[in-house]
Amino acid sequence: MAKQTFNNIKLGLFILAGLLLLIIGLYLIGRDSNLFSRNYTLHVQFAHVQGLTPGNNVRYAGIQVGTVKKIKLVNDTLIDVSMIIEKRMQQFIRVNDLVSISTDGLMGNKMLQITAAKDGSAFAADGDMLKSKTVLNVDEMLVVLNKSNQNIAVISEELKTAVIRLNNSEALWNILNNKLLPEQLLASAANIRSATAKANVLAGDLQTIIAGVKEGKGTMGQLLSDTAIAYHLTAAIDKIKTVGDHADSLANELNALTRSVKSDVNNGKGTIHALLKDSLLVQKLNNSLQHIEKGTEGFNQNMEALKSNFLFRGYFRKLEKKKNK
């Protein structure tokens, strides 16, 4: 009898412990689903929920504040997600806060992340619609990563081909093995530096010249800045123009004279015609020149005779001595 009573007590204690564990488990499950706390509902809409399911966590600044209650398809491009949020968060969550779908860890379950907008907007009330924020999901990242891997493979293959071509290039290795090449490169660099220095000096000289011209120094500066020189140049140009006009007038007069002479020659008039076309005048001129030549020859003979005369011999000797000195 005592043993039966002890067994009944143990059975009662076991049942009581089981009920206590069941109550604690139901409380924990209910707490995660916000069944035993005051809460309110908020909504957000996405074009793609990326595997989000009811019961997934909702976090605000990394803190667990609620769960996903319901996912409803509004149309072919829009999905409405209802969130159960703890009532205590009503003084923190605002209508302009952004809701995004993220992952709990790299390969964990999907969850909703609420990010504060910090713009001073009104606090969200029960049934309000929050703004959604689209983030890059893992599938898209994998697609981009796969494309990047393919591009890297192509680039590595091209680099391999380029390295093989470089290894088989005798001309390149000849250039690299040329011991004189560094000295030549250094000499070229020195020449470039020297040319650059000379160019700098030339630029400085040109700048000095330009500054002097701007200040009116030198011939160019005076030409550009001195108004008196400009006046004199204008006057000189006017004189040149006047001389040119006189030259044109003189040329016209010479043309008229030439035409007149030509007319006299063609018509048998004037001295020019007689000199050019009168054969008798030409014969007389020739006779006159012959007489002049004969007279000159006789004069020379007389002078030689005077040199031999004793009266003039001393005079001519003095002339020769002066000439020799």
Checking DSSP bridges between strand 110-115 and strand 98-103, what pairing results, if any?
antiparallel
Report the alpha-carbon distance of residue 320 to residue 325 in Å, rounded: 9
144 and 66 fall within a common domain: no
Determine which helix (DSSP H) or strand (DSSP E) holds 74, and give its type and residue range: strand 63-75
In total, how many domains does the chain have? 3
47 and 131 fall within a common domain: yes
Q: Is 152 exposed, middle or buried (0-12, 13-18, 19+ CB in 10 A)?
A: exposed
User: Rounded to the nearest 10 degrees, what angle do helices 279-308 and 270-277 cross at?
Assistant: 80
pLDDT of amino acid 147? 86
pLDDT of amino acid 225? 66
62 and 101 fall within a common domain: yes
pLDDT of amino acid 84? 93
Mean pLDDT of 117-128: 86
pLDDT of amino acid 13? 80
Report the alpha-carbon distance of residue 231 to residue 149 in Å, rounded: 80
50 and 25 fall within a common domain: no
Query: Could you tell me which residues are beta bridge partners of residue 132?
Result: 99
5 and 18 fall within a common domain: yes
92 and 154 fall within a common domain: no
Looking at the domain assignment, is residue 210 inside a domain? no
Looking at the domain assignment, is residue 309 inside a domain? no
Mean pLDDT of 58-85: 90
Percentage of the residues of the chain whose pLDDT score is greater than 70: 77
Query: In the block, which residue shows the tokens 């030689």?
Result: 304
Q: 139 and 103 in contact (C-beta within 8 Å)?
A: no
Looking at the domain assignment, is residue 264 inside a domain? no
Q: Which residue has better confidence, 311 or 6? A: 6
- Report the predicted TM-score, pTM, of the whole model to 2 decimal places: 0.38
Mean pLDDT of 261-274: 64
81 and 65 fall within a common domain: yes
The string of pLDDT tens digits covering residues 26-48 is: 655 555 555 556 889 999 999 88
pLDDT of amino acid 248? 75
3-state secondary structure 98-146: EEEEEECCCCCCEEEEEECCCCCCCECCCCCECEEECCCCHHHHHHHHH
Looking at the domain assignment, is residue 301 inside a domain? no
Looking at the domain assignment, is residue 320 inside a domain? no
Looking at the domain assignment, is residue 267 inside a domain? no
67 and 115 fall within a common domain: yes
Residue 67: other Cβ atoms inside 10 A: 21
Mean pLDDT of 291-311: 72
Looking at the domain assignment, is residue 185 inside a domain? no
Instruction: Read off the tokens for 114.
Output: 């609420």
24 and 91 fall within a common domain: no
**Three-state secondary-structure class, residue 95:** coil
Looking at the domain assignment, is residue 243 inside a domain? no
- Give yes or no for residue 107 having a pLDDT over 90: no
Report the alpha-carbon distance of residue 155 to residue 164 in Å, rounded: 14
pLDDT of amino acid 17? 83
Confidence band, pLDDT 50/70/90 cuts, at residue 67:
very high
DSSP for 137-188?
Answer: -HHHHHHHHHHHHHHHHHHHHHHHHHHHHHHT-HHHHHHHH-THHHHHHHHH
Residue 63: other Cβ atoms inside 10 A: 11
Report the alpha-carbon distance of residue 164 to residue 153 in Å, rounded: 16
The string of pLDDT tens digits covering residues 133-167 is: 876 666 677 788 888 888 998 898 888 888 888 77
48 and 104 fall within a common domain: yes
Instruction: Read off the tokens for 117.
Output: 């907008």
Confidence band, pLDDT 50/70/90 cuts, at residue 269:
low
46 and 124 fall within a common domain: yes
Instruction: Read off the tokens for 150.
Output: 């393919």
pLDDT of amino acid 66? 92
Structural domain range at position 92: 41-135
Q: Which of 84-88, 120-124, 171-175, 224-228 has the largest mean confidence?
A: 84-88
94 and 172 fall within a common domain: no
